[in-house]
Amino acid sequence: MRDVVESPVFLMALTLVSYRVGLSVRDASRGHALAQPVLVAIVLTGGTILALDVDATTYADGVQVLSFWLGAATVALAVPLHRQAARLKGFVVPMLVAVPLGVVVSVCSVVLLARWTGAGEELVRTLSPKAATTPVSIQLSETAGGIPSLTAALAICVGILGAVAGPAVLTLARVTDRRARGLALGGVSHGIGASRALAEDETEGAFAGLSMGLTALATSLLLPLLLAVLL
Amino acid sequence: MPGGLVVGLTWLVVCQLVGEVLVHLTDAPLPGPVVGMVVLLLALEVRRRRGHDTDRDPAVRAADGLLRHLQLLFVPAGVGVVAYLGAIRDDAVPIVVAVAGSWVLGIVVIGWTTRLLERGERAA
């Protein structure tokens, strides 16, 4: 039985069924913000492998085929952007100012808030690249002297935060333009934020994908400078 | 460019590969798939300019299919976080305050700055 529980086919089936349940929960709740399929699927799958005592590495190896397609899905974000290309006109300058400014605010605020609440220097460095898309945040954490695997976990957490709360916070802040909403969501919650943005509106999704790319670039360039000034 | 799902996915993977190669050659501080996204975007713009209906391209159809279930692809990474909950618990206060605070500031600043500048540009 142990062999079955640790086999890729069981772990894939568990993940796919959990995601399917997540979709049903979303539909049943008529799209309640907390009922994000990704969140429901993580809770169900994570809870099950904890209960069955399957270790994280075995799980990750078993579902590698899913993780693999994340790269192609990132490439695929070009398609909504291509459909929205006409809407980029007159938007390039706001975008190139707002996204790097967002990076500066994200990094400075996470560093200062963490220090004020008593975090040690290693934890501060680990937190600093959390807004960048996961593969980039891992690299940046390593060069900044943080703990890369913890940074990756935190990047996933801010992604989920964006998927759950992003649209509501933007509405509360009275940001209604679909392009601005997409930029903001992709800039703080990368691909997972983009997945929610896409579910809301194609324009929003397209700009979230673009913003994710720009944020990765701006964070890579600015993080060493900001950390040198702040720490 | 006829073909189905496999052809479309091939296009996406090849764009990702081109992205990875470009990153490797230039040492750009970007993930390969993000560069691959730009490569695919440029390819689609070129095809549209030549008069193709890009909505019928296999790459576009495959992309639509993948993006419809984008959240599924984040589940493995999210489950990995479950293993970290213990480590996060020790420093829960600074982590939660810093991450949530910074996230709110970031999203609001980007949203408001964009809105402000976009209005300025429309008025000019």
Is A96 an 8 Å CB contact of chain B?
no
> What is the pLDDT averaged over residues B2-8?
81
Of A173, A177, A175, which Cα lies nearest the Cα of A204?
A: A177
What share of chain A in percent tops pLDDT 70? Answer: 100
CA distance A225 to chain B (A): 15
Which class for B81: exposed (0-12), middle (13-18), buried (19 or more C-beta within 10 A)? buried
B100 CB neighbours in chain A (<8 A) are: 161
Cβ neighbours of B102 in A, within 8 Å = 105-107, 109-110, 113, 130-131
Per-residue model confidence (pLDDT) at position A77? 92
- CA distances to A4, A144, A172, B114 from A141, rounded to whole Å, are 36, 5, 32, 28
Residue B30 has phi, psi (to 5 degrees) of -135, 155
Question: Which residues of chain B make contact with A149, given a CB cutoff of 8 A?
Answer: 84
Percent of chain B residues topping a pLDDT of 90: 75
The H or E element containing residue B42 is: helix B32-49
Is a pLDDT exceeding 60 seen at residue B109? yes
Answer with the residue of higher pLDDT: B119 or A118: A118
pLDDT at A15: 98
Pairwise CB contact (< 8 Å): B114 & A170: no
- A-B contacts at Cβ under 8 angstroms: 324
C-alpha to C-alpha distance for A190 and A210, rounded to whole angstroms: 9
Residue A144 confidence (pLDDT)? 93
**Residue A31, SS3?**
coil
A179 CB-near residues (< 8 Å, 6+ apart): A87, A91, A203, A204, A207, B114, B118
B77 pLDDT above the threshold of 80: yes
What confidence tens digit (pLDDT) does each residue in A177-203 have? 999 999 999 999 999 999 999 999 999
Q: Find the closest chain A residue to B62 by CA distance.
A: A76
pLDDT of residue B65: 93
Which amino acid is present at A189?
S
Q: How far is A164 from chain B (nearest CA, A)?
A: 12
Instruction: Show which of residues 168-197 on chain A sit within 8 Å of chain B, judged by CB atoms.
Output: 169-170, 173, 175, 177, 179-181, 183-185, 187-189, 191-192, 194-195
* Count of CB atoms situated within 10 Å of the CB of B108: 19
Give B118 or B57, the one with higher predicted confidence: B57
Chain B residues whose CB is inside 8 A of the A153 CB are: 80-81, 84, 88
Question: What is the predicted pLDDT for the residue at B123?
Answer: 67
Residue type, A97: V
Mean pLDDT rounded to a whole number for chain A: 95
Neighbouring residues of A199: CB distance < 8 A, sequence distance ≥ 6: A205
Distance from CA of A60 to the nearest CA of B (A): 6
With a cut of 80, say whether residue B87 has pLDDT above it.
no
Give contacts of B14 with chain A, Cβ < 8 Å.
none
What is the ipTM for the molecules in this complex? 0.93
> Which tens digits make up the pLDDT trace of A22-73?
999 999 999 899 999 999 999 999 999 999 999 999 999 999 999 999 999 9
Rounded-to-integer distance, Cα A39 and Cα A24, Å: 13
> Domain extents for chain A?
2-69, 78-230
Tell me the per-residue pLDDT of A59-92, one tens digit each, with 9 for 90 and over: 999 999 999 999 999 999 999 999 998 888 889 9
Residues in A touching B29 (Cβ below 8 Å): 136, 139, 216-217, 220-221
Nearest chain A residue to B118 by CA: give it: A94
Q: Which chain A residues are closer than 8 Å to B36 by Cβ?
A: 71, 74-75
Mutate to test the interface with A, among B45, B75, B95 (most CBs of A within 10 A): B75
Phi, psi (rounded to 5 degrees) for A10: -65, -45
